């Protein structure tokens, strides 16, 4: 096995940390305020147990499923992430890896690569949008994504513009020009391989957002911070606005960021195809419980009407199995593939997906199932007091 092979996501994270300038690494780590949600997303999976059999196991395991009409070779989707200065090929490398491994890819509207470049190498791209700008501007962006061949829309609504982390936030420049690079020189020079990759590609890390303008207008695309400003100044959406988004897109639609039962029901009424139970990887208001804790209540409330996926804290195949057993149709992964991308580009993302596949397969073997469709809550040991239910009146 090549020395580049990473046997776990934790190893990919260690390599990413070694390779990336500290500010870039810390921008990926993210989290907000005290970091309670970030920590809970990870530790909650560790609280869940599994109950393996030792005989009567299945030699064949089928990991395939579908979400939003797309075939998944395993119940994993690339969650959209908007951090670009990780690798010169950025989202295109991720898209190639996802296509090679048969999983769909969410593409952030804050991505650094044009959507057309990404759909050229992956036919299962789900375009992600925030509620930002005017309806007209959003409709034009949806139109561009649709024409580029995106097969679904992910509307991400769980963001509260909370600033400040107790462990400090990285300084990210408005634009990575030579002047900004010079001010980063000391930390960048400590990471020569990261610099070398960009030097070889002939480009500086790109902090613009080409998908927020019409095709061909990319030179006028806002910087990441310009886009963030437009988003922050947009009045938050109503449920009618969300129903408008669903109509305007006119195809498979996921609302990402649900953690309350009442919101899940309202999402059904707005006409969505799917929801992702999520707290934005611990980046929304701190104190939001881990999605795996609220997943069963959401599945219970709306799982027979729409598809329910979850994201947050997935780092191994057994995490995927636990989520599917508790009712998720699939999970979405964020940092896990970002670590792979940062560590080793496209092969690094493929490596992470292979680690997850191997882990799902061995958990399925131990649990005695031949298909992910057969996973049930009884496969998981859920300790008392583990689950949370948000958004229903407390019983008196």
The catalytic site residues sit at 280
Q: Residue 75, interface with ligand FMN (CB under 6 A)?
A: no
Separation of first and last alpha carbons in the chain: 59
**Helix, strand or coil for residue 106?**
strand
Q: How far is the CB of 395 from ligand FMN (least distance, A)?
A: 31
CA 136 to chain centre: 27
Q: Residue 312, interface with ligand FMN (CB under 6 A)?
A: yes
What CA–CA distance (Å, rounded) separates 159 from 236? 10
- Judged by CB under 6 A, the stretch of 74-82, 87-95, 199-207, 297-305 that binds ligand FMN is 74-82
What CA–CA distance (Å, rounded) separates 21 from 191? 6
CB 366 within 8 A of CB 118: no
Q: How far is the CB of 126 from ligand FMN (least distance, A)?
A: 10
Which of 13, 26, 37, 41 is close enough to bind ligand FMN by CB under 6 A?
41
Number of residue whose CB is nearest ligand FMN: 334
Binding mask 122-161 for ligand FMN (x = CB under 6 A): ------x---------------------------x-----
Q: How far is the CB of 53 from ligand FMN (least distance, A)?
A: 29
CA dihedral 227, 228, 230, 235 (to 10 degrees): 150
167 φ/ψ sector (left φ>0, alpha ψ -120 to 50, else beta)? alpha
Distance of CA 387 to CAs 192, 245, 290, 374, Å?
45, 31, 9, 22
Q: How many Å is the Cα radius of gyration of the chain?
A: 20
Which of 296, 313, 347, 359 is close enough to bind ligand FMN by CB under 6 A?
313
Tell which residue, 124, 127, 122, has the closest CA to residue 144. Answer: 127
Binding mask 260-279 for ligand FMN (x = CB under 6 A): ------------------x-
Strand 380-381 and strand 49-50: the pairing is antiparallel
What CA–CA distance (Å, rounded) separates 312 from 314? 6
Which of 32, 81, 119, 288 is close enough to bind ligand FMN by CB under 6 A?
81
Which of 281, 345, 348, 359 is close enough to bind ligand FMN by CB under 6 A?
281
- Judged by CB under 6 A, the stretch of 13-21, 328-336, 367-375, 378-386 that binds ligand FMN is 328-336
Q: In the complex with ligand FMN, which residue's Cβ is closer, 156 or 297?
A: 156
- Judged by CB under 6 A, the stretch of 162-170, 292-300, 308-316, 381-389 that binds ligand FMN is 308-316
CB 332 within 8 A of CB 300: no
Q: How far is the CB of 240 from ligand FMN (least distance, A)?
A: 22
Binding mask 334-353 for ligand FMN (x = CB under 6 A): xxx-----------------
Q: Residue 289, interface with ligand FMN (CB under 6 A)?
A: no
Q: Residue 77, interface with ligand FMN (CB under 6 A)?
A: no
36 beta partners: none
Neighbours of 268 (CB within 10 A): 15
CB 277 within 8 A of CB 295: yes
Helix (H) or strand (E) segment spanning residue 126: strand 125-129
Q: Residue 28, interface with ligand FMN (CB under 6 A)?
A: yes
Number of residues that bind ligand FMN (CB under 6 A): 24
Helix (H) or strand (E) segment spanning residue 165: none
Phi and psi at residue 255, to the nearest 5° = -100, 120
- Judged by CB under 6 A, the stretch of 13-21, 47-55, 135-143, 307-315 that binds ligand FMN is 307-315
CB 14 within 8 A of CB 146: no
Neighbours of 193 (CB within 10 A): 9
Q: How far is the CB of 225 from ligand FMN (least distance, A)?
A: 14
Which of 26, 85, 89, 110 is close enough to bind ligand FMN by CB under 6 A?
110
- Judged by CB under 6 A, the stretch of 81-89, 140-148, 196-204, 247-255 that binds ligand FMN is 81-89
Helix (H) or strand (E) segment spanning residue 370: none
Which of 63, 76, 83, 126 is close enough to bind ligand FMN by CB under 6 A?
83
Q: In the complex with ligand FMN, which residue's Cβ is closer, 13 or 369?
A: 13
| Binding footprint of ligand FMN on the chain (CB under 6 A) | 28, 30, 41, 79-83, 108, 110, 128, 156, 256, 278, 280-281, 311-314, 333-336
């Amino acid at each position: 096995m090549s020395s580049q092979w990473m046997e776990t996501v934790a190893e990919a994270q260690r390599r990413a940390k070694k390779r990336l300038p500290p500010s870039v690494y810390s921008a990926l780590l993210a989290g907000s305020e005290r970091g309670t949600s970030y920590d809970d997303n990870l530790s909650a999976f560790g609280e869940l147990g599994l109950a393996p059999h030792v005989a009567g196991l299945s030699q064949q395991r089928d990991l395939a499923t579908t979400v939003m009409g797309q075939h998944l070779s395993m119940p994993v989707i690339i969650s959209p992430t908007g951090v670009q200065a990780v690798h010169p090929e950025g989202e295109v490398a991720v898209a190639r890896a996802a296509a090679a491994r048969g999983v769909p890819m969410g593409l952030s509207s804050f991505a650094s690569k044009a959507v057309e470049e990404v759909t050229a190498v992956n036919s299962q791209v789900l375009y992600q949008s925030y509620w930002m700008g005017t309806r007209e501007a959003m409709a034009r962006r949806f139109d561009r994504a649709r024409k580029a061949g995106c097969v679904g829309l992910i509307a991400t609504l769980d963001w509260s513009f909370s600033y400040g982390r107790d462990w400090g936030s990285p300084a990210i420049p408005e634009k990575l020009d030579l002047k900004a690079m010079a001010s980063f020189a000391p930390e960048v020079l400590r990471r020569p391989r990261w610099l070398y990759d960009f030097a070889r590609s002939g480009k500086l890390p790109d902090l613009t957002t080409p998908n927020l303008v019409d095709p061909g207008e990319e030179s006028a695309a806002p910087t990441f911070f310009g886009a963030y400003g437009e988003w922050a100044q947009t009045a938050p959406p109503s449920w009618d606005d969300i129903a408008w988004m669903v109509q305007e897109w006119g195809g498979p639609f996921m609302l990402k960021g649900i953690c309350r039962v009442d919101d899940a029901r309202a999402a059904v009424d707005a006409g969505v195809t799917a929801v992702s139970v999520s707290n934005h990887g611990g980046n929304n208001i701190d104190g939001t419980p881990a999605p795996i804790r609220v997943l069963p209540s959401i599945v219970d409330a709306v799982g027979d009407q729409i598809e329910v996926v979850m994201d947050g804290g997935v780092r191994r195949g057994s995490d995927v199995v636990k989520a599917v057993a508790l009712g998720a149709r699939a999970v979405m992964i964020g940092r896990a593939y970002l670590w792979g991308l940062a560590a080793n580009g496209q092969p690094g993302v493929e490596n992470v997906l292979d680690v997850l596949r191997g882990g799902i397969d061995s958990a399925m073997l131990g649990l005695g199932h031949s298909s992910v469709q057969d996973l049930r809550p009884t496969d998981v040991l859920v300790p008392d007091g583990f689950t949370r239910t948000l958004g229903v009146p407390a019983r008196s």
